[in-house]
Chains A and B, each alone.
Chain A
Amino acid sequence: MAAIPEDKNYDHFTPISGQGSALTAYNLFTGSLPVLQRFGTYFFIGTQWNPVPTQLNPVIFGALPYLLGTLVTSGIALLIGVPLSLGIAIFLVEMAPRALRVPISYLVELLAAVPSVIYGLWGVFVFRFWISDYIEKPLSTYFGWFPAFSGTPLGLDVLTAGIILAIMIIPTVSSVSREVIQAVPNSIREGAYSIGATKWEVIRNWVLGYGRSGIFGAVILGLGRAIGETMAVTMVIGNATGPAAIPTSLFKPGQTMSSLIANGFLEATPGSLEYSAFLGVGLLLLLLGLSINVIAQVMVTRVLKVKGGAVE
């Protein structure tokens, strides 16, 4: 930190990020007012999504299925991605031979460099068949009676989207938890080794315990990334709308908030109720992402500050 005394004359170098966040929130809020006023709480708990009025179905917008879709796919991503990321972080800090550490962390970070749309392309033409052939078909044959495994295992569904998200959050979660684990003071490890603990026992009982809150923060940060992820999910989730999009089974096409916007936003006429509904979904997504991120920032910085800012 540059500890030069502050100089008020230079305040016009104002970072515009703050204005950016405020602008986004303000616009989404005013834009979604019409739909919020018209449907009230139904927008949050309703399941119908019908932009075109017919004799049987009036225009109505409920965002619940997409909220659930986002939560379920992100949940799958965490269930699969977090143990993997922790394993990687522990391997990199505590176990890997020194010569392997840098190349492996480069490779894992490259996962973050691959554009989302390429994950989607790979998901649609390659990964989808791995999932449907090796995971979904056996599960649906033997456990098809279980509600979560019902439906046709085509591979374009909630499960595939969740697993792709799991792959995509690995770089985030593993690099943050690696830093957290690195920030655990060596004296703690030395103390544990000196009373005869094995490496695994040191990690499990001391290192992970010490970095608990930071690792939790890393997980939340991964959750934030999973919630906002759009393209890959849009391409593999199958894009259902209305009540059909409620994620009752893993093998059913679903829809997340971000994929709903990516698919439908262009078709909505500006100023229409549908447009407003999309902005409302965007607002919901923003609020969810914001609150998750603020929690994560607080938790991660609290742990990393322990080491006097040596790790940032």
Chain B
Amino acid sequence: MTSYAYRKFKDRLFFILSLGCVIVAVLPLMSILIEVIARGAPRLSIQFITQPAGVIGQSAGGIGPAIQGTLILIGLTSLIGIPLGVMSGIYLAEYGNNKYADTMRMFNNVLTEFPSIVVGITVSVVVVLALGHYSPFAGAIALAFILIPIVARTTEESLKLVPNSVREASLALGAHRWRTTISVVLPTAKAGLVTGTLLAVARIAGETAPLIMTILGNQYFFQGFNQPMDALPLRIWRDALQPYSNFQAQGWGAALVLILIVLSLNIGVRVASRGQIRK
């Protein structure tokens, strides 16, 4: 039997080690935030966020098209993905007490962890090849692929938190199931629903891999729904690979804008929903 002092020492040592783990994990986050702000902030200006990209060798210009593209993508994806995701979630939570729904739930969980590049090549084969051109539409479908399972899952989880007595009260008043779901269950679960959906949107806003083979990226502002389009993550990727320092700086500026969009969505939602939902 080892002595009490030794056991006590091991206990302290382990406390320090696990605290060390936290510090090691937070270090990259801090470094990323500091570098992105330090290298990106000097680039920020009205021109930078509104002008199209410049010519190689001269000025790098701005990232206006990329910001516009990302906003279009977020909008289109939400339009496609949120209704489908919410309805899937409603089905799973309200009518999902059967074998079929269990299978779907499993597929849904698996799809949440799908490699996003695989989604990209699938949509490339199914949509881009079929239509014959890269398009914002294809990009939005690819992102919706990623958005739907997340939204479905959070919808299901927040609907399940609604007490059954609320449903029963509505049914007892003679309301139909659909009326109960729309007028009673959904409003009750609203806070969790909105939080989960916005977090999912924040996640897809930074998604890059599926965009490479769906919207392709270009230098110009929105050209139409049958033309390639730029997006912030794509612009960052392309700029980072350029050997010109002003393009690399532009990449950092774009990274700052992207991280501002993503983190403000993320932190804002969490702060706003604090205390309203569990956890």
Report A's interface with B, CB cutoff 8 A. 1-7, 10-11, 13-18, 20-21, 23-24, 27-28, 31, 83-88, 90-91, 95, 104, 106-108, 110-111, 113-122, 124-127, 167, 170, 174, 198-201, 203, 221, 224-225, 227-231, 235, 258, 261-262, 265-266, 270, 278-279, 282, 285-286, 289-290, 293-294, 297, 312
Contact = CB atoms under 8 A, between A and B. Distances in A.
B111 A235 contact: no
A115 B91 contact: no
Interface string B136-170: 00000000010011001000010110101001000
Contacts of B178: 10
Given A20-B111, A114-B32, A200-B10, A231 B209 contact: yes
A230 B107 contact: no
Contacts of A24: 114, 118-119, 122
Contacts of B21: 83-88, 91
Given A17-B148, A117-B236, A231-B237, A11 B95 contact: yes
Across the A-B interface, the 9 shortest Cβ-Cβ residue pairs: A115-B206, A228-B115, A87-B21, A15-B88, A13-B91, A230-B209, A91-B18, A87-B18, A198-B11
A176 to B, nearest CB: 11
A2 B94 contact: yes
Interface in B38-54: 39
A270 to B, nearest CB: 5
A294 B251 contact: no
A118 B270 contact: no
B3 interface: no
Given A13-B90, A110-B29, A127-B28, A262 B209 contact: yes
B36 A122 contact: yes
Contacts of A4: 94, 97, 164, 167, 177
A258 B152 contact: no
Interface of B: 7-8, 10-11, 14-15, 17-22, 24-26, 28-29, 31-32, 35-36, 39, 84, 87-88, 90-98, 100-101, 103-104, 106-111, 113-122, 124-126, 129, 145, 148-149, 152, 157, 159-160, 162, 164, 167, 177-178, 202-203, 205-209, 212-213, 216, 233, 236-237, 240-241, 248, 251-252, 255, 258-259, 262-263, 266-267, 270
Nearest to B263: A113
Contacts of A225: 113
Contacts of A286: 114-115, 118
27 contacts: A6-B98, A10-B178, A15-B91, A17-B104, A17-B149, A18-B108, A20-B149, A84-B25, A95-B15, A108-B25, A113-B262, A116-B206, A116-B209, A118-B36, A121-B236, A200-B10, A203-B14, A228-B116, A231-B209, A231-B237, A235-B240, A261-B117, A261-B121, A270-B129, A294-B106, A294-B110, A312-B157
Contacts of A28: 118, 121-122, 125
A2 B206 contact: no
Contact of A126 (B35, B108, B216): B35
